[in-house]
Structure 1
Amino acid sequence: MAESGSVTRVVHDDTIDFALAAYVADGEWHLGELADTTLVSVETLASGLRRFDTGGGALAMVGVDEDFFVLVRVDGSATRALLSDVTAALEWEIAESVVDFLGLLDPEDDDHGPAGDLGIVADLGMHADDMGELVDDVELYPDEMLSDVAHRLGFGPAFDDAVGFEGP
């Protein structure tokens, strides 16, 4: 734990449910685990993702404490990010880094909703409107949401296997 003003911020520890890199190589989707050292900020995630970028970009999929997810996508020097619930930035360092990366003001307790690029994977098969609907569903856990994303992009079974998701 680290203190920041009067708000207790949780630094990466065993609260990360999963942290995967998804990337296309030889025309097929592959998954790899992201090192713990990359799970601090958007910048460290992007740096860790670059080792997976085979020319078509790479996507980090991070689920935190069954509460929210972070997507970071790198394609060459470009980095894009999506946080499923902006209020996570009030308690979690990795979520706060997304808000900072996006240049947003600190959220208030009642600012629920996503922050960032809802079209982060639109060119891969999941449009921004669909992503918006998905992250607005407060009944779903992060692994369920990201399983849906993975299925729409074409690597759902591999994702489900990697995170131990058994579906509804």
Structure 2
Amino acid sequence: MTTTELDFALAAYREDGVWTVTPLPLRGEPDLSSVVSALRRYPGDAGVIGMISVDEDFFIVLRVVGGRARLLLSDVTAATEWPLAKQVIDELDIPLAEDDDEQVPAGDLAIVADLGMSAMDLGALIDDVDLYPEEMLEEIADALGFGTEFHEAIEAVG
């Protein structure tokens, strides 16, 4: 996978109650450690949220608070084709069944629960097979209160 296969990669953080969303600078073939390192550069009252959409196929949400990274992969089957998704599965220490075709999320569904979107709501959103990853991330951004900033950042990378 190269950055050309990324639909977008964004960092969102809140300082003094104000959200900032900015394109996440990634080069070459992104890997999980470089994404986490890139996110650690941003400040934030409640850490920084990374939102990555890949090839209109799946998304990854990361939340870096202090030295800890929390992870959510929208579709576990993406790990059979995409190295970045496989790295998330490996970090979560989840076994990958090669013949598993069930599209279920993996990781922390409560990743943004304290910011305004419950694990149940996030799980229901991911279960909506009619939505593209960008649309799901847009709904997450809206629920957390940075929908406008999300749209502006998407337009900046588009």
Name the one with the larger helix percent: 2
Q: Same fold (TM over 0.5)?
A: yes
> In the TM superposition, what is the alpha-carbon distance from 1:158 to its structure 2 partner?
1.5
Aligned-partner Cα distance in 1 for 2:120–2:106? 14
The match for 2:103 is: 112
String of CA shifts for 1:66-121, please: whole Å, max 9, x gaps: 11100011000111000000000011111111101100112334131100000000
Q: CA deviation at 1:146?
A: 0.4
Q: Secondary structure at the match of 1:37?
A: coil
Q: Which has the higher relative contact order, 1 or 2, with Cα contacts under 8 A spaced 6 or more apart?
A: 2
Shift of 1:49: 0.5
Q: After TM superposition, give the deviation of residue 18 of structure 1 in Å.
A: 0.6
Q: Secondary structure at the match of 2:143?
A: helix
Residue 157 (1) aligns with residue 157 (2): no
Determine if contact 2:138/2:147 at 8 Å carries over to the other structure.
Answer: yes
Q: Secondary structure at the match of 1:112?
A: coil
Give structure 1 regions of 4+ aligned residues with deviation exceeding 4 angstroms. Answer: none
Contact kept? 1:99, 1:115, Cα under 8 Å: yes
- C-alpha offsets along residues 7-62 of structure 1, whole Å, 9 cap, x if unaligned? xxxx2231100100000123200012111139623322111111113342000000
Q: Equivalents in 1 of 2:10, 2:29: separation in Å?
A: 10
- 2:11 aligns with 21
Further displaced range: 52-61 or 121-130: 52-61
**2: CA distance, partners of 1:142 / 1:83:** 11
SS at match of 1:118: coil
- Return the TM-score normalized by structure 1: 0.86
RMSD, matched Cα: 1.5
> Residues 37-52 of structure 1: matches in 2 within 5 Å?
37=27, 40-52=30-42
- State whether residues 57 and 133 of structure 2, in contact with CA within 8 Å, keep that contact through their aligned partners in structure 1: yes
SS at the partner of 1:23?
A: strand
Secondary structure of the residue that 1:113 maps to in structure 2? coil
Count of residue correspondences: 154
8 A contact 2:11–2:22 mirrored in 1: yes
Opposite residue 86 of structure 2, the aligned amino acid is E
Is there any run of 5+ residues in structure 1 with no aligned partner, and where?
A: 1-10
Aligned-residue sequence identity (percent) comes to: 49
Deviation at 1:157, TM superposition (A): 1.4
Runs of 5+ unmatched residues, structure 2: none
Aligned to 2:96, the other structure's residue is in SS state coil
1:142-153 residue pairs with structure 2 within 5 A?
Answer: 142-153=133-144
